[in-house]
Amino acid sequence: MNIPYETMLSEFARVLNKYGFSPERAHDAAEIFAQNSLCGVYSHGLNRFPRVIEYLKNGEIDPTVEAECVASFGAIERWDGHRGFGPLNARGAMARAIELARSFGVGVVALGNNNHWMRGGTYGWQAADAGCIGICWSNSWPIMPAWGALDSRLGNNPVVFAVPRSNGQHIMVDCALSQFSYGKLESTRLAGKQLPVAGGYDENGELTTDPAVIERTQRVLPIGYWKGSSLSILLDMIGTILTDGNSVAKAGTFDAEVGLTQIMIAIDPAKFQSAEITDEIINAICADVHDSTPIKEGDRVRCPGEGDWKRRQENLANGIPVVEEKWNEVLAM
């Protein structure tokens, strides 16, 4: 079942308006969810939308609150999200980081006490659309065991890197520090599929590709084993230091995944060179990667983000594939 982008955007906006968003903010928030699905990130688009509505119903998100700057030191600012709507606060923080980068060459906004930002790639792409390099990350609930541990004390703390190309076909990596995010586990389970590689542990402590089993044990596998575990700890530390917000451990004491810590960094390469030179650098590196010999004959080795661009064009033309159960849930709201 495929749904036109504008239809999905309209339905999301309708529901958000019903649950306390002004018409303008409802449209802006709906746009983030719809564009996530448009790019093929269904786990943080349609599939996550009903859960966000539950947060609104339960009063865990205030749809009227906006983030504010509480301290400023040249190119770096500290913001308080006041537990408002995470994606809009995050987008505002990255917009400010871009403004700072225009003045200083680099801009950093440390956003504390914010709610879930949905897809981190939204803000990397936002920076790249503005011609900036984007770097951002968020902490999360403790949902991943540290390397060598049985119980989950770490966040999967997604991190994003994006570089801009003037034609809009930016290069971007957006990855959780678990082998698969919980959103990806859910979307794979709903599709009735197995993970392509082991993503966590079963009840016997054995690695498994079954997303439902990993959701049940809540023992996801860190990327790179001990390396992903270490990165998760350091990103949590840096974010908490800069925001004076909530660490993963503190966020884990809340009843929902709220009050998170996020960092937005924008770097303006135009301070050093023209967009044409930046394009030449990126295109040369991409061309070298594309020239790799694929393992499977007929395959093409890609750079990160190229699949997103392709899916976006396909979904604009053909409609966005949806899980019918989730779409009907939205229509009934």
Enzyme catalytic residues: 44
Distance of CA 116 to the CA centre of its chain: 9
> How far is the C-alpha of 236 from the C-alpha of 246, rounded, in Å?
9
> How far is the C-alpha of 30 from the C-alpha of 185, rounded, in Å?
23
Angle between helix axes 121-129 and 23-38 (nearest 10 degrees) is 100
Say which residues have a Cβ less than 8 Å from residue 11's Cβ, sequence separation at least 6: 330, 331
Return the structure tokens found at 228.
């992903």
Q: Is 228 exposed, middle or buried (0-12, 13-18, 19+ CB in 10 A)?
A: buried
> How far is the C-alpha of 12 from the C-alpha of 28, rounded, in Å?
10
| Residue 42 vs residues 11, 119, 303: alpha-carbon distances, Å | 16, 10, 21
Scanning 39-159, the segments in alpha helix (DSSP H) are 49-57, 86-104, 121-129
Among 197, 195, 134, smallest CA distance to 163 is for 134
Handedness of CA 27, 53, 212, 140 (dihedral sign): positive
171: β partners = 163
Among 131, 62, 120, 63, smallest CA distance to 91 is for 120
| CB-based contact 238:263 (threshold 8 Å) | yes
